[in-house]
Amino acid sequence: MFRRLNVCLDGDKRAGLRPGDSAEIEVDEEEHVLQIQMDWFTSPEVTVACSGDSVRAFTCRMPGPFSALIRIFSGPDSAFGLVPDDARGA
């Protein structure tokens, strides 16, 4: 079974997700730093500006098995992609 990905907001774990899962996290109106973590693998940090009743959605992209193996040694801080949903079609 696949391990959970931790959704971290401002350095604090806010949710644990398996493939196909989603989470809603309420935040204050300000800038926040979003990151996905699993063991020593992470996504790059993404700064998210929140205001009013806005909703921001992101998708975590995982590399294929061969790419994941290479990133163990070459770039564990970019093992996952974190993409805003409004940019997926771009």
Query: For position 73, what pLDDT does the model report?
Result: 67
Residue 62 backbone phi and psi in degrees, to 5: -110, 145
Report the domain count for the chain: 1
Give the torsion sign (CA, 82, 77, 46, 30): positive
β-partners of residue 28 are: none
Say what the pLDDT of residue 90 is. Answer: 42
What is the domain range of residue 18? 5-87
- Residue-wise pLDDT for 74-87, tens only, equals 666 777 777 788 75
Total-model pTM = 0.75
For residue range 2-18, what is the model confidence (pLDDT) as tens digits? 678 899 999 999 999 98
